[in-house]
Structure 1
Amino acid sequence: MTESTPTSAPAAGSPGAPDDFAIEAQRILAELTANPNAQFRDGQLESIRDLVQAKKRVLVVQRTGWGKSAVYFVATRMLRASGTGPSLIISPLLALMRDQIAAAERAGVRAASLNSSNVTEWDSVLEDLKAGNLDVLLVSPERLNNPQFRDEVLPQLLAFLGLIVVDEAHCISDWGHDFRPDYRRIGRILSELPHNTPVLATTATANSRVVADVAEQLGDDTTVVRGELARDSLRLGVLNGLDASARIAWLSAHLNDFTGSGIVYTLTVSAAEDITRMLREQGHEVRAYTGRTDAEERAELEQQLKDNRLKALVATSALGMGFDKPDLGFVVHLGAPSSAVAYYQQVGRAGRATDSADVLLLPGAEDEQIWEYFATASMPNQDDANAVLAALAEADGPLSVARLETLVGTKRSRLNLLLKTLEVEDAVSKVKGGYVSTGLGWTYDRDRYEKVAAVRAEEARAMLDYEATGQCRMEFLIRQLDDPDPQPCGRCDNCAGVWFSSEISDEQRQAAAGNLHKIGLPVEPRSTWPSGLANIGVPLKGRIPAEELAEEGRAIARLSDLGQGQTLRAFLAPDAPDAEVPGQIGKWCLEVLAQWDWNSRPEVVVSIPSNRRPGTVRSLAANLATAGRLVDGGELLQVGDHGTPDVNSAFRVKDLYEAFVVPPEVEEAVAGKSVLLVDDEVVSRWTMTVCARLLRRAGATSVLPFALALRA
């Protein structure tokens, strides 16, 4: 690995004046930018020359807005003109692909993509590629392991590629803030390339550890072009000490203080949806953008923001790398990301082509709990891996993910992550029809994952330090990225004084609190049994018969909610005592019941036995019966271990199927009656579904599930 310090190109007519190569590159840049006077930034022309003339491998670490895409589009034009094949750009997000294709068209580069949103166009895209009608093909890292693409398309493509581009290259590294297992395959692909195939990797968010790791995977002769990461246009600030309702009140009161349109980031999907609802009720033109937003709607929302038809998108990290709105006026975070590096990446969306953009962080007391949840959810597990490998070894052929779910007690999201890890480490192989075992086995690399966990914990501490620091905030962030020359920015709240108002009127606080503390969430009934239950000894399949269905239920709030969720989370915490429901939560229960527009008012209350909180659940049911003048029908009888909700749907139903029975006294109480079925939490909805089925089969005319909280 060699380091390259960017330098400005000499002026025409001076010693070392532009040669023919530089003049041609400049002409293409002018077309790309639609600006005849456009000039290369320090390091751009040098990178293009390394790729086109020297056929080198180059890692560019430059701030957002520096112009990394200009490097690969100008290089592609020049390589294609010299007779090479097309460029392959490996890009992580659909938003990034859409922006890159639009930029390619401006540069006179014919580009197309293969992604999950254009499946119907894949055949025509591949035909154009084979016919030489495309200059650039953009694919996601996941696409590299699609069996058809990997086995039929990629070998041909690698034979005549002119350039490979790995965008957001920090995703390659375990140490990067957004590591993705699929990126690990890229190193293997690069090792199979002809030696003279140029490779460009780009990122704006890599510290020295990540740079070294990525450069090693690219190859020993990689040139690193690294510039200063400070963003002169950004004015940073932190507003500490506000609780959830105060943060909402502040945002509602001050959102229009910000110039232009921007992004409001949250840590969870539920927070994004709840905040969007509350801001819209206050008259703000905002929309939610999360992992639940489908591809077509995402594209439309991105365009609305670019056209300034929205004041803001309220988004999770689903709107992150690659979203390109050069005049984005502000980024506000309600809740902090788990690392200063991730924070720098997200705030880098703002102020790319403006003199000034505002960036404000409003941390939450719940942030650290959310960080811990996501950190543990992404780590592989030896027991889960053993179960997957055993199932594959015993199979007669490939097993799909859906089939594996019925054979392994792992949730779909965790199973997919595990399979990716096993695949890139050669324990399994993805083939047509699913996955097969390679027979090589897999061992949990405890040392590696403990080191990664330690780095994540260190990054989290640094984020807390950022919130509390009295030093320059920009300097703090770029030090986390090992910037070669960190200097005070002179603009942030610590350098130049607080630039934002912290005022919130009593009326605004009350309005936000009232909106935030609206209670009563629907609990949608399960209507279909998981597939493959017969494979694990459960004689259920297909749609649940109408006479065995639960009605739509209710819960006070999600545990992740910003309002009642915080109180419920404390009361239901794993280390909290098994106590009766306190007065405030009891009042919320009665409010939910009073507002419930049920088809048939419940007549009997029945509780689900709880291993963890038997006193809470039983007293809740008894108190609801007294308050609502309902019959307390008692509780179901637990006759077997009902396991844990931290498994996939098929195994959850298996655990629950014979775990409960309806005792004679309960059967007598519910016969011909409408039943309120009570539990403390709803996690997967399968406990309520199975227990409602038992009560309906025992003669209940309807079953209405009720719980204190949704764990979602």
Structure 2
Amino acid sequence: MTDNDLRVRADRVLARLVGDASGAARLREDQWRAVEALVAHRRRALVVQRTGWGKSAVYFVATALLRERGGGPTVIVSPLLALMRNQVESAARAGIHARTINSANPEEWESVQAEVAAGEVDVLLVSPERLNNPDFRDQVLPKLAATTGLLVVDEAHCISDWGHDFRPDYRRLRTLLADLPPGVPVLATTATANARVTADVAEQLGTGPDGTGDEGRALVLRGPLDRKSLSLSVVGLPDAAHRLAWLADHLGDLPGSGIVYTLTVAAAEEVTAHLRRCGHAVASYTGRTENADRMQAEQDLLANRVKALVATSALGMGFDKPDLGFVVHLGSPSSPIAYYQQVGRAGRGVDHAEVLLLPGREDEAIWQYFASLAFPSEEQVRRTLDVLAAAGRPLSLPALEPQVDLRRSRLETMLKVLDVDGAVRRERGGWTATGRPWTYDARRYAWVARQREAEQQAMRDYARSTECRMAFLQRQLDDETAAPCGRCDNCAGSRFGSEVSEAALAAARGELMRPGVEVEPRRMWPTGLPAVGVDLKGRIPPGEQASVGRALGRLSDIGWGNRLRPMLAPQAPDGPVPDDVANAVVTVLADWAKGPGGWASGGADAPARPAGVVTMASLSHPRLIRSLGERIASVGRIPLLGAVSYVEGADATKVPRSNSAQRLRALHGALTVPPALAEAVSAAAGPVLLIDDLTDSGWTLAVATRLLRRAGAQGVLPLVLAVQG
């Protein structure tokens, strides 16, 4: 087949893909170059092009042409379920049968694998975490590598730990690439790779059949990243209430339907609730949203049944709605590259879309929290390797956790990196050490940390900049074609003012400063504690559990969180509880008493009225907690019974804020109920209020509650200022 014949057939597939009955659709020149490289020359290619350019058209057209030639199925490694659902529907339009294997459809895995083996599947979309599943890695992956006709790595910047969204599961692709038979083409695509990430990904791809000539080098097709449909703006507002009010006032004025991004799950849920109360049709979309609800939210947005999805970065990649009319960020992402990617959801199939950034004071604190989840220290890594080596058998995460001072999510991420580096291996039953030499690349991790700091500074600069905003983002992505766009607020003048109506501002303030968050008690001890000398396991006996408690707010809230974060920061000065905070806590208590299950509700299962107040010992905020306990006791006209204390010689500064097992291990035996307090709670004619400043894991409250209940307390009602997260 000549190149001309191949081009004609490629354009025919494109026409079916985009639903062009006239057959007039034509591939862009770089789209054709990529298709030609994959189909005619069986090369490896990296396509770095703006969102909406048509990267998926390249791999679907290439798939159809390769399948016509008898090639095996295309395997697409794709990071998000939203993208997978869109891709299956798009493939069907071109007569391409696509199936998925991901965390949302485990009941279909066996049947999908059988269809692949029978040659009935043209495209198999696989989530990256499947690549590191032992059964999939050892049984399915080798067969896929042997029969794959085309490998596609979508959102390929995730391969590179220089990229803004590095994912350890993606590094398993290096093994898959090395195991592909000679002549299997590979396509990597992304819209968000700067020059360094592009070079890194191209180097990893560039391992062709013999490592020489064009076959040994990846073809890189990098285009200009200007998005001519997007009009970028920044709206500076004094506080969270003004930002929420501005959104309530102006959401209806924005074109079409769109996305409102927030930085945290709590903020997304908070904003969604308020906008609904203001009459806007919106839905929440976060990592905490159930899969069925996510699918419904996606369909509602696609069908314009909602004005917006209020989303976290869970909707950052893969969602495809060509006529999305706006993207608003209520809070600034920490990276201009991540920001470019998220705003790229808008304006893909319309001439004009609005992109607005509403930065907030709390952004920096949230950036710092996520920065704290970086790759662990060498000491922590070596400790993990030592524990695995000494075990002599696979250890699951719950079994490993009590012996390693890392949160489970951070521990799992670290193990995935070590797995790809060859230092550990995931097997049935858990993780094992391989015994292979491993070097801690401190210089590389430090460089990545400095890069993150530079990206944060770039976002500060973007918000304050008086130059073209699109050109600013393009330069952050090393796009040499950057030039003034003529559309952003700095080029063409502001289209949106900072004015908000008094009614909207009052409603927003009421929403944000509405106090009260439920605090769920711990009901199960962490697994693995007996192995580290703590004789606790299974369910916490009901007689040693706390009741559902209350907090004034979450530290991640854009309302009370902004008030509480500076007050509860580790280095914040200690002092009496401020009047506004104390009064808000009293309001929480009043609502708690009257609400469902409260002691004043009159319900059959309602607890007795609190008979006393107990405070928690604190090294950082003793005056704050003591004064809050005194205020609550005075207002409630109940006695302040005393404080749960640290035992003499216990070093409270060494209680880690890490995983549950490590925290509980340190707390066990460190807290005590003094004799006078034990006598007082035993004599109290009802449950006690347990006062603390902050709850994170919940284990301090759980251990203190167990001690108080064993001392004779009829019940324990936790009351804290803030919930971490």
TM interval, short-chain normalised: over 0.9
Q: How far does residue 549 in structure 1 lie from its aligned partner after superposition?
A: 1.4
2:260 paired with 1:249: no
2:617 paired with 1:609: yes
- TM value normalised by structure 1: 0.96
Query: In the alignment, is the contact (CA less than 8 A) between 1:389 and 1:441 conserved in 2?
Result: no
Corresponding residue of 1:7? none
Q: How far does residue 257 in structure 1 lie from its aligned partner after superposition?
A: 0.5
2:79 paired with 1:92: yes
Deviations 1:498-522 (A, max 9, x none): 1124321222111110111000111
Secondary structure of the corresponding residue to residue 576 of structure 1: coil
Deviations 1:317-356 (A, max 9, x none): 0001111011111100001111111111000000100111
Q: Which amino acid aligns with 1:21?
A: L
Corresponding residue of 2:187? 200
- Measured in 2, the distance between the counterparts of 1:221 and 1:531 equals 49
- Measured in 1, the distance between the counterparts of 2:54 and 2:480 equals 19
Matched positions, count: 696
Q: How far does residue 154 in structure 1 lie from its aligned partner after superposition?
A: 1.4
- TM value normalised by structure 2: 0.94
Secondary structure of the corresponding residue to residue 315 of structure 2: coil
- Measured in 1, the distance between the counterparts of 2:145 and 2:571 equals 55
Corresponding residue of 2:217? 221
Aligned pair partner of 2:311 in 301, 311, 315 = 315
Query: In the alignment, is the contact (CA less than 8 A) between 1:385 and 1:442 conserved in 2?
Result: no
Corresponding residue of 1:110? 97
Secondary structure of the corresponding residue to residue 318 of structure 1: helix
Q: How far does residue 190 in structure 1 lie from its aligned partner after superposition?
A: 1.1
Deviations 1:63-108 (A, max 9, x none): 1111101100110111111111111111111111111111111111
Aligned pair partner of 2:41 in 35, 54, 62 = 54
- Measured in 2, the distance between the counterparts of 1:175 and 1:26 equals 36
Corresponding residue of 2:675? 664
Secondary structure of the corresponding residue to residue 242 of structure 1: coil
- Measured in 1, the distance between the counterparts of 2:504 and 2:147 equals 62
Q: How far does residue 210 in structure 1 lie from its aligned partner after superposition?
A: 0.9
Query: In the alignment, is the contact (CA less than 8 A) between 1:167 and 1:203 conserved in 2?
Result: yes
Aligned pair partner of 2:514 in 518, 526, 542 = 518
Q: Which amino acid aligns with 1:25?
A: A
Q: Which amino acid aligns with 1:689?
A: A
Q: Which aligned pairs between 1:107-256 and structure 2 lie closer than 5 A?
A: 107-219=94-206, 220-256=216-252
Corresponding residue of 2:212? none
Corresponding residue of 1:8? none
Deviates more, 1:196-205 or 1:288-297: 288-297
2:5 paired with 1:20: yes
Q: Which aligned pairs between 1:274-293 and structure 2 lie closer than 5 A?
A: 274-293=270-289
Q: Which amino acid aligns with 2:433?
A: S
Q: Which aligned pairs between 1:486-505 and structure 2 lie closer than 5 A?
A: 486-505=482-501
Secondary structure of the corresponding residue to residue 43 of structure 1: helix
- Measured in 1, the distance between the counterparts of 2:238 and 2:151 equals 47
2:625 paired with 1:621: no
Q: How far does residue 623 in structure 1 lie from its aligned partner after superposition?
A: 2.6
Query: In the alignment, is the contact (CA less than 8 A) between 2:656 and 2:666 conserved in 1?
Result: no
Query: In the alignment, is the contact (CA less than 8 A) between 2:405 and 2:658 conserved in 1?
Result: yes
Corresponding residue of 1:382? 378
Aligned pair partner of 2:698 in 673, 685, 695 = 685
Corresponding residue of 1:337? 333
Aligned pair partner of 1:71 in 46, 50, 58 = 58
Q: Which aligned pairs between 1:576-595 and structure 2 lie closer than 5 A?
A: 576-595=572-591
2:651 paired with 1:641: yes
- Measured in 1, the distance between the counterparts of 2:715 and 2:373 equals 37
Q: Which aligned pairs between 1:560-579 and structure 2 lie closer than 5 A?
A: 560-579=556-575
Q: Report the aligned-residue RMSD.
A: 1.4
Q: Which amino acid aligns with 1:358?
A: E
2:705 paired with 1:700: no
Q: Which amino acid aligns with 1:604?
A: G
- Measured in 1, the distance between the counterparts of 2:676 and 2:701 equals 20
Corresponding residue of 2:18? 33
2:96 paired with 1:83: no
Q: How far does residue 672 in structure 1 lie from its aligned partner after superposition?
A: 4.5
Corresponding residue of 1:349? 345
Query: In the alignment, is the contact (CA less than 8 A) between 1:641 and 1:655 conserved in 2?
Result: no
Corresponding residue of 1:632? 640
- Measured in 2, the distance between the counterparts of 1:336 and 1:668 equals 52
- Measured in 2, the distance between the counterparts of 1:18 and 1:544 equals 71
Q: Which runs of 5+ in 2 are unaligned?
A: 207-215, 599-606
Distance 1:622 1:348, change over 3 A: same
- Measured in 2, the distance between the counterparts of 1:411 and 1:443 equals 23
Q: Which amino acid aligns with 2:132?
A: N
- Measured in 2, the distance between the counterparts of 1:265 and 1:690 equals 38
Q: How far does residue 441 in structure 1 lie from its aligned partner after superposition?
A: 4.4
- Measured in 2, the distance between the counterparts of 1:585 and 1:439 equals 54
Deviations 1:660-704 (A, max 9, x none): 122121112111432011111111111111111111111111111
Q: Which amino acid aligns with 2:659?
A: N
- Measured in 2, the distance between the counterparts of 1:508 and 1:441 equals 61
Q: How far does residue 426 in structure 1 lie from its aligned partner after superposition?
A: 0.9
- Measured in 2, the distance between the counterparts of 1:501 and 1:613 equals 42
Corresponding residue of 2:666? 655
- Measured in 2, the distance between the counterparts of 1:644 and 1:277 equals 37
Q: Which amino acid aligns with 2:257?
A: S
- Measured in 1, the distance between the counterparts of 2:228 and 2:521 equals 52
Q: How far does residue 650 in structure 1 lie from its aligned partner after superposition?
A: 1.9
Corresponding residue of 2:722? 709
Query: In the alignment, is the contact (CA less than 8 A) between 2:655 and 2:667 conserved in 1?
Result: no
Q: Which amino acid aligns with 1:626?
A: S
Aligned pair partner of 1:262 in 252, 258, 265 = 258
- Measured in 2, the distance between the counterparts of 1:531 and 1:629 equals 41
Query: In the alignment, is the contact (CA less than 8 A) between 2:656 and 2:662 conserved in 1?
Result: no
Secondary structure of the corresponding residue to residue 646 of structure 1: coil
- Measured in 2, the distance between the counterparts of 1:83 and 1:255 equals 51
Deviations 1:485-543 (A, max 9, x none): 11221111111111124321222111110111000111111112222222222222222
Secondary structure of the corresponding residue to residue 347 of structure 2: coil
Q: Which runs of 5+ in 1 are unaligned?
A: 1-16
Aligned pair partner of 1:530 in 519, 526, 529 = 526
Q: How far does residue 287 in structure 1 lie from its aligned partner after superposition?
A: 1.3
Identity of aligned residues (%): 56
Q: How far does residue 645 in structure 1 lie from its aligned partner after superposition?
A: 4.5
Query: In the alignment, is the contact (CA less than 8 A) between 2:235 and 2:497 conserved in 1?
Result: no
Q: How far does residue 40 in structure 1 lie from its aligned partner after superposition?
A: 1.2
Q: How far does residue 363 in structure 1 lie from its aligned partner after superposition?
A: 0.4
Q: Which amino acid aligns with 2:651?
A: D
- Measured in 1, the distance between the counterparts of 2:374 and 2:167 equals 10
Corresponding residue of 1:9? none
Q: Which amino acid aligns with 1:198?
A: P
Query: In the alignment, is the contact (CA less than 8 A) between 1:645 and 1:684 conserved in 2?
Result: no
- Measured in 2, the distance between the counterparts of 1:98 and 1:76 equals 18
Q: Which amino acid aligns with 1:354?
A: V
Corresponding residue of 1:408? 404
Deviations 1:451-485 (A, max 9, x none): 11111111111111111111111111111112231
- Measured in 1, the distance between the counterparts of 2:439 and 2:33 equals 43
Q: How far does residue 18 in structure 1 lie from its aligned partner after superposition?
A: 7.3
Query: In the alignment, is the contact (CA less than 8 A) between 1:672 and 1:701 conserved in 2?
Result: no
- Measured in 1, the distance between the counterparts of 2:26 and 2:496 equals 36
Q: How far does residue 215 in structure 1 lie from its aligned partner after superposition?
A: 0.6
